Amino acid sequence: MKKYVSFEEICNHKENFKNSNLKLIPGMIYKGGNKGNHSSEVLSKLMKVGNTGGMRPKNNKYKNTAYIVLNITHDNNAWEDYIDYKKEEVIYYGDNAKSEDLFETKHKGNRNLKFLFDNIDNPDNQFPLFLFERDAECVNRDFKYIGLVIPSI
């Protein structure tokens, strides 16, 4: 079985989104480009979100959050995000280690997470969280799709 999707396939998907048969498959690696700059970033092309940040929201036509792409890179020691596969648990510390106000960050990631947790018993107010990780199998700007995550207490 194929373990990765090439950057070229993803770029073609971006250009022909409505006619694409590209699917998100847990465990699949989505390859980044090799130019060494943001043009090689894969999640923005695959998920139609921004090209920086660990929490990347996508808004709908009404400017409400449609979904968020979470990514764990293991690059920042201040944020020890991790996935515990045995417990089926993700520990994700949030958005922007430099902000003085946790809820006023560039991508509004913490505000969006707070909204989800505040509405944990109201499924009509939930939106999807797609989790990607740059693990040992990934190189450069590659990401592995982990799956959908759901806030819980």
Which DSSP letter does residue 141 get? T
pLDDT, tens digit (0-9, with 9 covering 90-100), for 4-28: 999 999 998 766 666 677 889 999 9
Interatomic CA distance for residues 153 and 34, integer angstroms: 40
Q: Which residues contact 136 (CB under 8 A, 6 or more apart)?
A: none
Q: Which residue segments constitute the domains of the chain, with CATH numbers given? A: 4-149 (2.30.280.20)
Answer whether 22's CB lies under 8 Å from 10's CB.
Answer: yes
Matching residue, tokens 């009404």? 62
109 has a pLDDT exceeding 80:
no
pLDDT of residue 77: 65
Total-model pTM: 0.87
Give CA–CA dist 71/142, Å, rounded. 11
pLDDT tens track for 78-97: 678 889 889 988 888 776 66
